[in-house]
Structure 1
């Protein structure tokens, strides 16, 4: 599933409505819905959003998850792809997400993208917050 290099076409205004499987990842971005995006992504019930300003695990603050929290009532499970290496979320971030009623699983971006696509295919109430990997 890793992509050599995604095309450089940006999301339309940073947003594509609807739920879309992640077809490929790598090269600093993702492919989905017959388009590509360079940078990190939020795959939410409302659609796929560019995750602006989030490029490293250091950027994974509770404020960065604000768009996720806005849709928390429609999400059963949040998959957080933290990059090529597994790192833990800060406890305050993890608890903030859980207090919103979210079940949170943290994993490498590749695993998160694959798991998201599988669960989406099962019509589960899943969302993904994915850091881009090189």
Structure 2
């Protein structure tokens, strides 16, 4: 789904997500991604939400985010093995399907919030 035209803000807005992955600043990323306003890790994460572990989120706490938006693929998966470990780190987590996570990330980014999006591929199960 195309979200909106990229404005030259210098920030990593998600322009598009579909079965081929994500487009950020005009570049296609075919796997999962870990994205902030000014950094991008691609590829990131396992193939499925059930495979997510605390180590996949290593380093996020050091970014001092206000919120971490986790996109779990085609569907929202609330019973993630790493969830308890992440909450113990004091991270504010919002877990949703990847499409909703992309939209939420862009809204929070536009509000100048310190947001990190940990997004599995949009077609992940």
Question: Taking structure 2 as the reference length, what is the TM-score of the superposition?
Answer: 0.82
1:2 positional shift: 4.9
Aligned twin of 1:112? 101
Aligned twin of 1:15? none
Aligned twin of 1:77? 67
Segments of structure 1 that go 5 or more residues without pairing to the other structure are 4-17
Matches within 5 A, 1:27-42: 27-42=19-34
User: Which 10-residue stretch deviates more, 44-53 or 74-83?
Assistant: 44-53
Aligned twin of 2:6? none
Rounded to whole Å, the distance in 2 between the matches of 1:53 and 1:93 is 12
1:56 matches 2:48: yes
C-alpha root-mean-square deviation of aligned residues, in Å?
2.0
Rounded to whole Å, the distance in 2 between the matches of 1:81 and 1:67 is 18
1:44 positional shift: 3.0
Pairing partner for 1:96 from 74, 85, 88 = 85
Rounded to whole Å, the distance in 2 between the matches of 1:53 and 1:95 is 18
| Higher helix content, 1 or 2 | 1
Aligned twin of 2:39? 47
User: Which 10-residue stretch deviates more, 55-64 or 39-48?
Assistant: 39-48
Segments of structure 2 that go 5 or more residues without pairing to the other structure are 4-9
Rounded to whole Å, the distance in 1 between the matches of 2:114 and 2:54 is 21
| Higher strand content, 1 or 2 | 1
